[in-house]
Amino acid sequence: MAHRWGMVVDLDRCTGCEACVAACHAENNIATVGADQAARGRTMHWIHVERYWEGEFPNIRARFQPVLCQQCDAAPCEPVCPTYASYHNSEGLNAQVYNRCIGTRYCANACPYTVRYFNWFNPAWDKPLQLQLNPDVSVREVGVMEKCTFCNQRILAGEIKAKAANRELQDGEVKPACVQSCPPTAMVFGDLNDPNSQVSRMSRSVRATTLLAEVGTLPKVTYLERESSHGDE
C-alpha cells in the first residue's frame, strides 16, 4: 500500500483541554446529543479524553488520555460485521460504509476501545447552525454506526492536491482536525510506511506503547508514556 496512516499521542503534552474533541465534532458533523441522551449512554464523540487520578489526596494529579479509533491492523470490528460495512481500506484504515450498515452493533461490542458510536436518532441542526456543517462529510442517520476516520476527507483532499501538482504528499501536510487543533501539539499524524516521517520516528520512542497491546489488535495509534515513568527518549 502507498500509505499506512498512523498517529502518535504524547501523553506528556496532553493537558486534557478537549480542543481535539470540539474540533472533531465541528469537522465531522457530529451531533451534540444533549444531557438526556448522554445520561442514557448515547454520547457521540469520535474522540474522547479519559481522565485518571494519580497519587493519593492531597498529593493527587489528574492525568489525561485521548482515545479515538485505534485503526487496528487486526481490527476485531471487521470480521463480525455481517454486511462488510466495517472493512480495511487500501491505506490501512478501518473504513465504515454507512449505507451498508444495518446497525447490528456487533462491531461496537467487538471493539475493546469503545470508540464506535450508534446513531439513536436523526440529528438536526437548527437554523442557522446547519451552515456549520462540513460539506465534505456526510450527515449520518438513525441506525448507523459511526467512528473516527482519521479525517479521511482531509487525507483524500491532500492526495488530490499533491497529484494535481505532480508531486508526493509531504510529511505533515495532512492533519486530522484533532491534530491541527491540539494547542500543545500532543498529537502527530503521518505515514507509517515512511520510516523518516515524524510519526514513524516518534513511534520508535522508548516511551512508545499501544493501548491494550495484550489483546493483539495491532493499533496504528501509539501513545508516548510520560517522561516521569521512562526518562529521556
What DSSP line would sit under the chain, residue for residue?
A: ----EEEEEETTT-----HHHHHHHHHTT----HHHHHHTT----SEEEEEEEEEETTEEEEEEEEEE----TT-TTTTT-TTS-EEE-TTS-EEE-GGG-----HHHHH-TT---EE--S-----TTGGGGS-TTSPPP-TT-EE---S-HHHHHHHHHHHHHTTSPPPTTS---HHHHH-TT--EEEEETTSTTSHHHHHHTSTTEE-TTGGG----SEEEEPPHHHH---
- Structural contact between residues 82 and 210, judged by C-beta atoms closer than 8 angstroms: no
Closest contact distance (angstroms) between CB of 144 and ligand SF4 is 26
| Separation of CA 88 from chain center | 15
Pick one of 83, 124, 148, 186: the residue that binds ligand SF4 (CB under 6 A): 186
- From the CB of 219, what's the least distance to ligand SF4, in Å? 16
**Binding piece for ligand SF4, criterion CB under 6 A, among 18-26, 77-85, 121-129, 161-169:** 18-26
Binding status of residue 14 toward ligand SF4 by CB under 6 A:
yes
Site map (CB under 6 A) of ligand SF4, residues 28-67, x = contact:
---------------------x--------------x-x-
State the binding string over 196-215 for ligand SF4 (x if CB under 6 A, else -).
--------------------
How many chain residues bind ligand SF4 (CB under 6 A)? 15
Among 7, 8, 20, 75, binds ligand SF4 (CB under 6 A): 20
Residue of 12, 16, 42, 125 that binds ligand SF4 (CB under 6 A): 16
Q: Does 6 participate in binding ligand SF4 (rule CB under 6 A)? A: no
Stretch that binds ligand SF4, among 96-104, 137-145, 179-187, 195-203 (CB under 6 A): 179-187
Q: How near is the Cβ of 11 to ligand SF4 at its closest, in Å? A: 9
Binding site for ligand SF4 (CB under 6 A): 14-20, 49, 64, 66, 181-182, 184, 186-187
